[in-house]
């Protein structure tokens, strides 16, 4: 039997685990789990994706505001929230570079994290259509209920409450989420946590990505240019570190 692969290719901290689980549930509920395999790849150099990239694949891309992604990464890994540190973070160039690759794929389902959470049943049904899975409206509602953010958040919190020594970055295969995976899920938290200069830096380099995914810019063109210039050396240093660590097989670098 030929296997078709479904690649959940959202950047990290953007809902890829949630989408991965939903897609698996759709395939299982529609009887297609034997003919499909679901994998998660934050970037196209992920080993799991490299092994199948020449084979038939469908792609599911979820865009979460990159400014919120950066705040989430800072919180999860307890990073210093300074301008040099944000400018050097790998998640920004990694997400932009990966997006250029994923966005050129033909069989691509693309949405935003906010849209996904706002209408989970609708996206379950749309994903099923995209995957060629036959689901009734009732089945779509049931799948959405099983994977609602509130329910999953509660299950993860309950699971790790029994493991007090677990660290925020620890992940247990039993639940499939890190202990610190859910941090409130508040959209627009970047407006509270990042300085105008940090925001301007992100918007300078992430302008095309933000606009292409229908996120608005908040800083002036002049401030964005200034932040881009000031942050360039830190970003370059961060890219060098990323390339070195990816060459050593480290899939997630900060």
Condensed to tens digits (0 to 9), the pLDDT of residues 22-68 reads: 999 999 999 998 889 999 998 898 888 999 999 989 999 999 999 99
Confidence of residue 143 (pLDDT cuts 50, 70, 90): very high
Q: Which two tokens stand for residue 84?
A: 């040099």
Average pLDDT over residues 188-202: 95
Q: Is the pLDDT of residue 195 over 70?
A: yes
pLDDT of residue 121: 93
pLDDT of residue 171: 54
pLDDT of residue 33: 87
**Mean pLDDT across the chain:** 85
Average pLDDT over residues 113-127: 93
pLDDT of residue 194: 96
pLDDT of residue 70: 93
Q: Is the pLDDT of residue 16 over 70?
A: yes
Q: Is the pLDDT of residue 161 over 60?
A: no
Average pLDDT over residues 11-15: 84
- What domains appear along the chain, each with residue ranges and CATH number? 4-247 (3.40.50.300)
Q: The whole model's pTM is what?
A: 0.81
Q: Is the pLDDT of residue 181 over 80?
A: no
Average pLDDT over residues 120-136: 94
**pLDDT, tens digit, for every residue of 72-113?**
889 888 888 999 999 998 888 888 989 999 999 999 999 999
In this predicted model, which residue has the larger pLDDT, 55 or 175?
A: 55
pLDDT of residue 180: 47
């Amino acid at each position: 039997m030929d296997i078709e692969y479904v690649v959940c290719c959202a950047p990290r901290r953007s809902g890829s685990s949630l989408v991965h689980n939903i897609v698996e549930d759709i395939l299982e509920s529609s009887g297609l789990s034997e003919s499909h395999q679901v994998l998660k790849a934050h970037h196209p150099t992920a080993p799991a994706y490299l092994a199948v990239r020449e084979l038939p694949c469908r792609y599911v891309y979820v865009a979460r505001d990159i400014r919120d992604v950066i705040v989430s990464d800072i919180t999860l890994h307890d990073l210093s929230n300074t301008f040099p540190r944000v400018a050097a973070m790998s998640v920004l160039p990694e997400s932009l570079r990966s997006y250029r690759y994923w966005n050129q794929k033909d069989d691509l389902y693309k949405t935003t994290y906010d849209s996904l959470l706002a209408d989970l049943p609708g996206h379950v049904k749309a994903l099923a259509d995209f995957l060629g899975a036959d689901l009734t409206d009732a089945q779509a509602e049931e799948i959405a209920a099983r994977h609602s953010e509130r329910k999953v958040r509660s299950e993860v919190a309950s699971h790790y409450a029994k493991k007090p020594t677990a660290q925020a970055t620890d992940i247990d295969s039993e639940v499939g989420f890190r202990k610190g995976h859910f941090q409130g899920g508040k959209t627009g938290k970047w407006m509270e946590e990042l300085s105008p200069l940090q925001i301007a830096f992100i918007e300078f380099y992430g302008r095309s990505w933000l606009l292409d995914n229908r996120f608005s810019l908040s800083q002036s063109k002049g401030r964005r240019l200034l932040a881009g210039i000031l942050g360039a050396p830190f970003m370059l240093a961060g890219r060098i570190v990323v390339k070195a660590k990816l060459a050593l097989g480290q899939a997630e670098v900060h």
